[in-house]
Structure 1
Amino acid sequence: MLNSSLVSLFVTLFLPSCKAPEVIRTNNLLSAAQATATIHRRGTQDVITTCKTKGTFALTFDDGPYLYENQISDYLTSRKIQGTFFVNGYNYDCIYDQKFVSQLQHTFKQGHLIGSHSWSHPNITRLSKAQFEHQLDLVETALIKILGIKPRYFRPPYGDINDQNIRVLKSRGYKIINWSFDSQDSIGATPQQSKAYYDKLAKSYPQPQIALNHETYQTTASQVIPHAIDVLTKAGYRLVSVSECLGLGNTQKDFYQVIGTPSPRDASWTCSGTPAPGLA
């Protein structure tokens, strides 16, 4: 486990468009801000790191579905805000577990954007083309079964992506989303620290932003996000989905490549035989 002094060497509040190191997780529950020594591609025309429309701000949440997803989605809905949730298939738990199916369906019905974050949260730059395609296939299959949709937006685990990954994603119709701001909730920031980071960020209005948060932390759901919304809206920001902040619309047809009908649960709704957390 990285200690706080090492974390401070590797993490910055505002990640540059490229070459910024992240912190890497040392156990199997893989979270976005854990560092890898080599950042292959972070900010190019194919890898989006911030919104395009001045005064817009996209709150994004990684690593679900997990226990606090609906606490976040309900609060966003109460504030008339569309959030963006990048989900895994098998990271903290299995996406097919009924409690997570119900949470994901609830978030979807509220009108929030659901994107892909890979199946098991590996570093995709270390995968073969076939392994990466398999990661995408598994998430797409799960979301078609559970929600009836194929996602249009993808966030690479750790923010790491290479040319091969980009070619695969573009060929499958994905838009690749990283971030311009990290709340640092996944690398040990206290709620007070994350709030302070948002306080500082609010002063950048009207510069558009995409913010990285994790739905896997109760304090993010209960303390940080309510505070962030208050300070950002007071500064003048309009909080919207990633799709809307890119000028690409705010309806389901804008969020997804395919919109259909969910499938009834059957024996295929399982993570058995699929890559385990952190593996390919």
Structure 2
Amino acid sequence: MSVRMAKWYAGIAWTGAGYQVEVLDGAGQRVAEPSSWGAGQVAGLIGRLRELGEQHPLAAVFESTNGLLDGPMTAAGLEVYRADPWLLPPRPLFGSVPARLLAERARSEPGRLARVTAEGGSLTGRADEYFEGVRRSEPVQAALTAAGRCFEHGSRDTPRAALTFDDGPDPVHTRRILEILDRYGVRATFFCVGHHVAALPDEVRRVAAAGHELGNHSWSHPFLPDLTPDQLREQIDRTAEAVSRVTGEAPVRFRPPYGALSPEVLTTLAEHPTTLTMWDVDSRDWAGPGPERIASTVLEAAGPGSVVLLHEGAGDRGQTVQALPSIIEGLLERGLELVTVGELPAPPLDHEDHELRLEH
């Protein structure tokens, strides 16, 4: 895909405080003064871009370490593109390349950008790379699992399962999810992104006060294989610090955005004091198939020990909220107790050699 017809290019950079936006025209001149938006002001940011897009064709551009805006932006009808690492200079330890640079790259090399779709999300066009990384990671992940450093599901012999929610907190959907969980008297695990923790600390407190488990889902929801080891550690540590400042306790579990892995990522995680936490049931709610389909996908696959992947933030999660009562009722009817991931008994190890060996 190309952005050749677009006359204005909005580069969107992320920082620890939120987002920086700079808009250039086809000649590389500023359309407006650069603007800053807090992590909790995504709706305002998108509204501003839509206003500009009504004046002239507009392309919004971010890079692969920003996985929080593609859903809301494509849902709003914006034309969204991703600039990949090989098109950009090295990033800082924390944050993306500058917004102006992203806008300039889109203006000067429009044909090299990836058009982001609602179906493919921010990894549109990189599926082969994603699955190859997961495949290459299997031996290392198995070693981590054997060492008790990676958790995908619990024991199949205990009638317990865990619901997990990624990408929050969210100013609307988190409260609705908490209300439903409270109605049924069940607990869950919420894997939060640091960007949203910093913006919505009261929602994080609300989750913790209700007795749910908090997990770490990185700061900006990046594609982890694009990070250096130091950048990956910074994403995890800053998010843990943000949660700790709010609740007094740092999360001990880390879930990689998209479930994206590579041997290099896993080597870094093996040296970090966190437990990699995956899932064995994907609700596919991120695809927006409708509440009934989300519920049936979970109920067809879940059983004792299951860890169910759902989402609460980084987009309109209304379908997930609507599906949740049916999911809970269906699992409870099977005699499953719904608990946090930390309360699931670990499955028996598959082999006797449990020593963790990693190739560097």
* Same fold? TM cut 0.5: yes
Matched, 1:52 2:155: yes
Tell me the equivalent position of 1:126. Answer: 226
1: CA distance, partners of 2:66 / 2:197: 22
- The C-alpha deviation readout for 1:164-211, integer Å capped at 9, x for no partner, is 333433433211111111111102321111122133235xx4x42111
- The C-alpha deviation readout for 1:76-134, integer Å capped at 9, x for no partner, is 123221100000012xxx4322xx21111011011100000000000112211111111
Distance 1:27 1:103, change over 3 A: closer
2: CA distance, partners of 1:26 / 1:101: 21
1: CA distance, partners of 2:276 / 2:330: 28
Higher radius of gyration, 1 or 2: 2
Give the letter aligned to residue 51 of structure 1: G
- The C-alpha deviation readout for 1:204-241, integer Å capped at 9, x for no partner, is x4x421110001302212x2111000011101211111
Give the letter aligned to residue 227 of structure 1: S
- The C-alpha deviation readout for 1:34-86, integer Å capped at 9, x for no partner, is 64343333652143221125321110000001131121123212322110000
The partner residue of 1:69 within 150, 159, 174 is 174
The partner residue of 1:228 within 327, 332, 339 is 327
Counterparts of 1:169-188 in structure 2, within 5 Å, are 169-188=269-288
CA contact (8 A) 2:282 2:298 kept: no
Where 2:133 maps in the other structure, the secondary structure is: coil
Tell me the equivalent position of 2:312. Answer: 215
* Sequence identity percentage: 28
Tell me the equivalent position of 1:164. Answer: 264
- The C-alpha deviation readout for 1:137-185, integer Å capped at 9, x for no partner, is 2102211211111110110011112333334334332111111111111
Tell me the equivalent position of 1:29. Answer: 69
CA contact (8 A) 2:197 2:243 kept: no
1: CA distance, partners of 2:343 / 2:175: 21
The partner residue of 1:200 within 300, 311, 336 is 300
Where 2:300 maps in the other structure, the secondary structure is: helix
Where 1:105 maps in the other structure, the secondary structure is: helix
Where 2:197 maps in the other structure, the secondary structure is: coil
CA contact (8 A) 2:66 2:220 kept: no
Give the letter aligned to residue 213 of structure 1: L
2: CA distance, partners of 1:39 / 1:234: 38
Where 1:176 maps in the other structure, the secondary structure is: strand
Tell me the equivalent position of 1:106. Answer: 206
Distance 1:51 1:162, change over 3 A: same
TM-score, with normalisation over the residues of structure 2? 0.55
CA contact (8 A) 2:133 2:263 kept: no
Where 1:81 maps in the other structure, the secondary structure is: coil
Give the letter aligned to residue 162 of structure 2: A
2: CA distance, partners of 1:154 / 1:26: 18
Where 1:212 maps in the other structure, the secondary structure is: strand
Tell me the equivalent position of 1:38. Answer: 132
Question: Which structure carries more helix by proportion?
Answer: 2
Distance 1:28 1:105, change over 3 A: closer
TM-score, with normalisation over the residues of structure 1? 0.70
- The number of aligned residues is 217
Tell me the equivalent position of 2:198. Answer: 96
1: CA distance, partners of 2:224 / 2:192: 15
1: CA distance, partners of 2:227 / 2:276: 17
CA contact (8 A) 1:181 1:211 kept: yes
Tell me the equivalent position of 2:241. Answer: 141
Q: Which runs of 5+ in 1 are unaligned?
A: 2-23, 249-280
1: CA distance, partners of 2:66 / 2:198: 25
Give the letter aligned to residue 152 of structure 2: T
CA contact (8 A) 1:68 1:218 kept: yes
Counterparts of 1:236-255 in structure 2, within 5 Å, are 236-247=335-346
**How many Å apart are 1:26 and its aligned residue?**
10
